Amino acid sequence: MTDTKDYINVAVCGAHMAGLPLNPQLTSLGGEFVAATSTAPNYRLYKLNGFTPARPGLLRVINGGVAIELEVWRLPVENYGKFVSGVPAPLGFGTITLADGSTVNGFLCEHYATLNAIDISHLDGWRGYLQDHAG
């Protein structure tokens, strides 16, 4: 078994999830899938404009939040900075609270980018959005 002290857990909620277009950015850096879970019910998810491939933005809110499905991956500590440094604005990294109350580093979105984005929170997560917009 691998020593988990040499890894940092990372939450992904969009194009970096398993089987999606940006997942190779995680796997090429030694990323390993840990679990599928969801956030605490304090978030909204938006389909952001201007990204190819399409990406969502996760925003923590005070009121009207829901649980959003995501995946937790672990990256070797030595590759974490390389991964995070490639994240384009308005996305960034911060602390996400999971359904079980634990916290993990993960993708968050700056509020301004959600003002002209589509709120897709009712679809439970990015895979729900992709399924709803398939075809």
Contacts with 70 (C-beta within 8 Å, 6 or more apart), sequence order: 11, 12, 13, 17, 36, 37, 38, 39, 58, 96, 106, 125
* 4-132: CATH class: alpha beta
| Unique residue bearing structure tokens 């384009």 | 88
Please give the residue that has the higher pLDDT: either 1 or 103: 103
The one-letter amino acid code at 112 reads Y
pLDDT at residue 135 above 90? no
- Each residue of 24-52: pLDDT tens digit? 999 999 999 999 999 999 999 999 999 99
In the DSSP assignment, the letter for residue 36 is E
pTM beyond 0.85: the answer is: yes
Give strand pairing partners of 76: 7
Distance from C-alpha of 35 to C-alpha of 103, rounded to nearest angstrom = 14
- Provide the residue ranges of all domains of the chain, joining segments of one domain with +: 4-132
How would DSSP label each residue in 77-108?
HHHHHHHHHTPPTTEEEEEEEBTTS-EEEEEE
- Each residue of 90-129: pLDDT tens digit? 999 999 999 999 999 999 999 999 999 999 999 999 999 9
Q: What is the structure's pLDDT at 1?
A: 47
CA distance between the termini of the chain: 41
Confidence of residue 134 (pLDDT cuts 50, 70, 90): confident
